Structure formats: C-alpha cells, structure tokens
Amino acid sequence: MDVLKSRLNHGWHPDLALSKELKVIKKRKAPLTYKGETKTIREWAQTTGLHDYIIRARIKAGWPVERILTEDASPRIIVCNGEAHTVAEWSLLTGVSKTTIRTKLNKGVSPEEIFKKRK
C-alpha cells in the first residue's frame, strides 16, 4: 500500500495508480567487508562518519575498500610552487575545472604539470 500512497501523493490519477502492478523495489544493499567486518554502505557511513554518497562515489571510482573507509573527506589541499589551495581554489585561480584537476591528480599527474601555463 505504500506504493499506492506514494503514487497518489505524486499526482497519479487513482485509476492509473491502481491499475499498475504494485511493485516494491528495494535498493540493492551492497555490503563492504573491511578487516573481517561486513556492513552495508549505510552502516559503514554511520560507523565512519562519512556520508553514504561519498562511500558510493568512491566505490564507483574504483577505490580499494581500505581507502574508501579510511580516507578523510575534508577538502583536498594541493601544494604547487609553494602555494597551497583546495581543488576549488586552484580551479578559480587557474581556470582548470575541478573535475579535470581531480581526474589528473588521481592519474598521478603532478600539480605543476596540471597548472603549467599554456603557451
């Protein structure tokens, strides 16, 4: 009945809401195992203090489980030529997109190479 209520709350016509097969689709609970302990993403989020969307993004990016669960989610500080800034700050200063900066850093490209002046 929760599906029916949801459909009605979202503006479905009552006849249409009743005529559709009522299926409850459960989110796939992908467990992660770390140090012999297996938990869902939501449980790991509660345990680590990380948001579940951060854990999901790290999984999607292919990070190893240990790094997913142990790396701090605070802003990444990048030092280049003696200057230290966050990804967002470097993006504003250089005009290089945040996505490009993160992607290149994750591929092992040095900050000096990323931010070198183009001739």
Q: Is 55 exposed, middle or buried (0-12, 13-18, 19+ CB in 10 A)?
A: buried
Q: What is the pLDDT of residues 6-53, one digit of tens each?
A: 777 767 777 766 765 544 434 445 688 899 999 999 999 898 888 888
Q: Chain-wide mean pLDDT for the chain?
A: 81
- What gap in Å lies between CA 108 and CA 104, rounded to an integer? 6
